[in-house]
Amino acid sequence: MQYRKLGRTGLDCSALGFGTWQIGGGRWKGLDERNSINLLRTAAELGVNIFDVAFVYGQYRGELNDKRSHSLELLGKSFIGTQRENIIYCLKLGQFDEYSHKASYYPRNLIEQFQSAVKQLNTDYIDICLIHAPSLAQVQDQRAISVLQTLQALGLIKFIGYSFEAEPDHASIALGHDIDVIMLQYNLMDENCESIFDKAASLGIGTLIGGPFKRGYLTGQFEKLEDLPDDDNYWLWNKRYAKEKVQNFLDTANRLKADAGGAYELRKKSLYHILRHGGACSAIVGHRSISEVVENCKIIDELNF
């Protein structure tokens, strides 16, 4: 495994990260608990040390009707005690519904989500905490990030920042704030944030990359609409209500796959496209099987920078 410094934080992050949205269930068909924990621990044994999670991933109601996250719970059960010391948690806060992506960035909601997340993770601190997909106006008013700055000052969070989709305007404004880390959506099909890498690096702000395989389009495993699994709500919804957009993505991915020379080569090209940027620290992949983790670790080992 290759490791890179995350900006000025001093953290050594694996070039391949682990995104936990898919294994949490909810919009996706998650794994059972035993297999999920085995998958997370195997990834760590292979050298993956940064795990991305959001309060909304795999969300459900607990016995007290409180909102809980299956993804948070899985991480909390996977890395306990001394195992926690070698793990970097990247926690995203603000959204409260993974289906509609509705959010609340008011201080009370952010603090309540933070307190709940810490308990579910079985930890007493968070390595990286990010405001999850705020609007441009919400970035500009800085209310949300000020909550994280307060938690950071109290020693509950080590490093703070924002998580965005492929939104360079949002990211550019965020880089002017007192933050340590920024997460961007960037891949072969979404290059809008190309200019952000150098800007962030010049300021010492670490950059994490979400969506390196574009929700699976760039894995090379889907060639036509029928290949997309109906047991995942995410795909079922998109095929039903955004069929033309999905087909366009498939067409583009198929062309890229043919140009690369196959599915494995496409995944390798996708990760190289991201990590060739000096400012890109870690590509966060939503792994769903041990074979995927093993293969992606192999790809990272084959890349030369």
End-to-end CA distance of the chain: 13
Domain count, the chain: 1
Question: 76 lies in a domain?
Answer: yes
Question: 4 lies in a domain?
Answer: no
Bridge partners, residue 92, by sequence: 54, 130
Bridge partners, residue 103, by sequence: 95
Listing DSSP states for 262-274 in one string gives: SHHHHHHHHHHHH
Stretch 21-47: mean pLDDT: 89
List C-alpha distances in Å: 142 to 135, 155, 162, 254. 11, 20, 11, 41
Question: 68 lies in a domain?
Answer: yes
Residue 198: band (very low, low, confident or very high) from pLDDT cuts 50, 70, 90: very high
Question: 219 lies in a domain?
Answer: yes
- What are the pLDDT digits (tens) for 80-117? 877 888 999 999 999 988 777 788 899 999 999 999 99
Question: 2 lies in a domain?
Answer: no
Stretch 153-172: mean pLDDT: 96
Range of the domain at 105: 9-302
Q: How far apart are CA 93 and CA 259, in angstroms?
A: 38
Instruction: State the pLDDT at residue 229.
Output: 87
Instruction: State the pLDDT at residue 136.
Output: 94
Task: List all residues 6 or more positions away from 203 whose beta carbon is below 8 Å from its beta carbon.
Answer: 175
Provide the total of helices (H) and of strands (E) in the chain, helices listed first. 11, 12
Instruction: State the pLDDT at residue 67.
Output: 81
Q: How far apart are CA 269 and CA 261, in angstroms?
A: 10
Question: 1 lies in a domain?
Answer: no
Q: What is the mean pLDDT of the chain?
A: 93
Assign residue 258 the CATH number of its domain.
3.20.20.100
